[in-house]
Amino acid sequence: MAQQSQSPYSIEGEWDELYIGGEWTESASGETIAVEDPSTRETITHVPRGSPADVDDAYEAAADAQDEWAATPPARREELVQELLETLEERSEEIMGLLTNEAGGSAVMGGTSVHLAEDQLAEAATLPRRMKGEHAHSNIPGKENIVEREPKGVVTVISPWNFPLNLSMRAVAPAVAAGNTVVLKPSTNTPVVGGLLFGRLFDEVGFPDGVLNVVTGRGSEIGDEIASHPESDVVAFTGSTPVGRQVAASAGENLAVAAMELGGNNAHIVTSEADIETAVDAATFGSFVHQGQVCISINRHLVHEDIYDEYVERLTERAESLPVGSAHNPDTIVGPIIDESQREEMLEYVDETLEAGATLETGGDTVDIDGVEDSLVVAPTVLSDVTNDMSAACFEHFGPIAPVIPFSDVDEAIEMANSTEYGLSGSVHAGDVGTGKEIAGRMETGMVHVNDQPINDEAHVPFSGTGASGVGGYNSEDFLDEVTEKKWISLQHEPREYPF
């Protein structure tokens, strides 16, 4: 790929080629897609408009490289992943700049994304040495049972736009470390930091050709081809539940393993015994970090009626104190929504909730940015007098919106928390850890955090949801199980007697 004088990791660099089989190449169509900065609404770069032919080339390269990569000694795979971690650390400032330009990420979001990606790489580097088999005694005289763990083959990674760096890394890194090859399809909104950046990192580190292949393009044009490709053995997808259902169905046509992390409607339960200041501190972060565009952010605040008014007042004060504006301002906490369609959907939920009888405490509209026409920044919004069936509460609003719902006792809070098809994350503040743990145990969700908020992710701890929040799991042994398979080999050491 041709390089300019600026850093190859800058948004001003050239990002108009696909990464397939270790080579940078134009798309078969020769066409590109414009990428917009959500803060400025300006086009900042162009990426390839991948075609079905490009998808086929990527899978062919991945399949061709897989056997040799799987046979690579564990120590060498570990070494390359460690070098990838070191390169990411060295390039962290530039990568945070990409997140600001492409994803509208604030300094907090950028730093968190890089930290989580580094954590994923550090964990992935341990996997080559953890791919150990088992030995089991047999019921048959003279037989020995051996169970070996092998890579699945070719892993498809379809990553989202909200946290494109770490949510791509959590699938790509362990898949590769375990001996698989990968085809990565990033979101159309964030094709650089969620996709082409990975090609550049793998290229710089020196991974063998074909271990990672990156195809950018519109999901409407190549999404089905990616999800249903016959060379794909695992499809790892992060995104909305409706799209996830389609991706899983397409993967199922080829009996590929589907690892789906989908939507959420996460409850933040605050009882009358809670420390209100601590609960509001957690709530402010859990609702407004990265504009609430987090699958595990707080979607509903369930607060005991005895402390409800004070909680709403304090949360409103905190929301109004948050610096709002362009993500290019280092002081900004709440920056732009990713695009117009997301902005309009969340504001529609707010309007519908107000029409249903809720009260707008603060926010509820866009915030103007100097020099920007049609700003994508939505003011931090707090809604009171909300019920569980109002739009901002029953739908995943995915924005800087905090619907606050009162409850009279813990049983009612649990019933409301569980009255959703989702089960991704949640949080509880109940005065002491023991009581909080009891409440957490009754919440029907894959993850719950006591005396905290729902946004937590550690690479060595399982990350998964229940119900419409997905199937399969990420992190630690859970994702290793998704991208490897076990083979039973029996050894008959002495002649066996058969019944005929």
Which residues are annotated as catalytic? 261, 295
Helices (H) and strands (E) in the chain, counts: 16, 22
**38 half-sphere exposure, CB direction, 13 A CA radius:** 29
Structure token pair of residue 141: 């005289």
Distance (Å, rounded) from C-alpha 171 to C-alpha 484?
A: 13
Q: What is each CA distance from 224 to 5, 129, 235, 250, in whole angstroms?
A: 38, 35, 12, 7
Distance (Å, rounded) from C-alpha 221 to C-alpha 219?
A: 5
Give per-residue burial for 52-73: e unless 16+ CB within 10 Å, then b.
bebbebbbbbbbebbeebbeee
Helix axes of 74-90 and 197-205: crossing angle, nearest 10 degrees: 120
Q: What is each CA distance from 274 to 304, 411, 436, in whole angstroms?
A: 9, 16, 10
Q: Which of 418, 473, 471 is nearest to 241 (CA)?
A: 471
The DSSP symbol for 130 reads H
Structure token pair of residue 193: 């930091």
